[in-house]
């Protein structure tokens, strides 16, 4: 193992180093992680597909490696994993693209508006289309294609999209994909479990990087 590496694989000594300084909090997170990823209204396989997808948005290599392994244990194929990753990619782009509404508002604003995120903003996306129809069409075509049923069902992909939108934190994307999830027959229980998987992965990414913090702290 190179001393220059910022990422340490399977280094249990480093992983455990900080536990003793906040044992109850670490134990509480471990229990939350266990419950969020356990079978419920959603299967473990579906939750691991969500976990792998959103880990590609957080960019946590520890999370990607761990959850790819857990998804593989659930007989998930590499092709299914790629489909989930493409959905996450599309939603990440979707969140960036829809913020163009705010850019448009800021460019044309008099500064008098108080609400930065009225739901009516969603109707303004057509104004972006008028500014560059070719790129708008290419973008929307990509998102549409990513969400089409394949090895994963349309409902599974929408759940991955909704979880991904909670990682990006984009209000427009959350609104759009939550409504699409409802239209796909998602129950509130499934919705809640999806959000909890996203939550534990976002928090888990921060926690996993404790190894990096400890490395930096120990470095002379």
Q: Find the CATH number of the domain harbouring 110.
A: 1.20.1290.10
pLDDT at 13: 63
Residue 3 belongs to a domain: no
Domain count, the chain: 1
pLDDT at 81: 98
Region label for 42, one of left (φ > 0), alpha (ψ between -120 and 50) or beta (otherwise) = beta
Average pLDDT, 10 consecutive residues per value, the chain (220 residues):
63 74 94 98 98 97 95 98 98 96 86 77 90 94 98 98 98 97 98 98 93 82
Residue 18 belongs to a domain: no
Residue 195's domain spans which residues? 23-218
Residue 15 belongs to a domain: no
Residue 2 belongs to a domain: no
Alpha-carbon 84 to chain mean position:
11
Cβ-count burial 54-67 (b if 16+ within 10 Å, e if not) = bbbbbebebbbebb
pLDDT at 1: 44
pLDDT at 5: 72
Give the span between the Cα atoms of 37 and 46, in whole angstroms: 9
Residue 9 belongs to a domain: no
Give the span between the Cα atoms of 83 and 77, in whole angstroms: 10
């Amino acid at each position: 193992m190179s001393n220059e590496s910022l990422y340490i694989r399977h280094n249990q000594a480093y992983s455990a180093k900080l536990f003793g300084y906040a044992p109850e909090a670490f134990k509480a997170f471990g229990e939350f992680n266990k419950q969020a990823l356990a079978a419920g209204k959603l299967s473990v396989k579906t939750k691991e597909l969500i976990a792998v997808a959103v880990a590609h948005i957080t960019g946590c290599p520890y999370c990607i490696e761990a959850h790819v392994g857990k998804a593989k244990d659930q007989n998930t194929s590499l092709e299914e994993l790629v489909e989930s990753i493409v959905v996450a990619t599309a939603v990440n782009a979707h969140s960036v693209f829809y913020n163009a509404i705010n850019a448009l508002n800021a460019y044309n604003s008099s500064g008098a508006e108080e609400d930065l995120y009225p739901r009516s903003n969603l109707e303004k996306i057509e104004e972006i289309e008028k500014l560059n129809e070719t790129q708008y069409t290419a973008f929307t075509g990509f998102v549409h294609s990513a969400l089409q049923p394949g090895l994963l069902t349309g409902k599974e992909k929408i759940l991955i999209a909704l979880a991904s939108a909670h990682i990006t934190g984009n209000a427009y994307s959350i609104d759009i994909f939550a409504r699409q999830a409802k239209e796909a027959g998602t129950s509130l229980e499934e919705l809640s479990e999806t959000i909890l998987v996203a939550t534990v992965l976002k928090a888990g990414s921060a926690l996993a990087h404790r190894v990096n913090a400890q490395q930096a702290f120990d470095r002379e």
